[in-house]
Structure 1
């Protein structure tokens, strides 16, 4: 593979990365905690789009529990987005020699 081929691949990759970035805005994942009492939806850009709290979990006497549920739901949604992103990136980099400078 010569330098011209590498430059062409780099330009092609740049276009594909832009497509991936656009696609990530359309990927959504929802994480839940407490048996669905807390639900968080985020997009592939890691922006929170929705947070739903079951009124039963809003108890002034147990704010730490609610905080834990929100964190758990956020982390679950984030894990799902990361996995979807990995799958998209794997398809994007298929066939590219990523160990050029070994």
Structure 2
């Protein structure tokens, strides 16, 4: 086993992981609920960046439904953000000989 070669690859992957983390902070996904009546923008790290609510939902009678739609839109956006982050990390570690089940970052 080439320990020095593995160390060099690990250092290269670490630098790429840092770049990927920065990229994930810039990559935005949109979660929707209620047929697009509630839309949330998140970055691929899952941080909420924006909210758009259709004006027709802004009535006291629709308060509970609106709250549920916001939660559903966030869940949709978070799932998309998680997929985007997982795809990015998988592409970075594709050539690194990691033991089964080991994931980066540690």
Q: Same fold (TM over 0.5)?
A: yes
TM-fit CA distance, 1:66: 0.8
CA offsets 1:7-65 (integer angstroms, 9 cap, x no match): 11111111010110111122110011111111000112222111011111122123221
Is residue 10–residue 96 contact of structure 2 (8 Å, CA) maintained in 1?
no
Structure 1 residue runs of 4 or more that deviate by more than 2 Å after TM superposition: none
Counterpart in the other structure of 1:72:
72
Count of paired positions: 102
**How far apart, CA to CA, are the structure 2 residues paired with 1:95 and 1:53?**
43
SS at match of 1:45: coil
Gaps of 5+ in 1: none
TM-score (norm 1): 0.90
TM-fit CA distance, 1:101: 9.5
1:42-61 alignment, distance < 5 Å: 42-61=42-61
CA offsets 1:50-99 (integer angstroms, 9 cap, x no match): 10111111221232211110001011111111111111111101121111
TM-score (norm 2): 0.87
Gaps of 5+ in 2: none
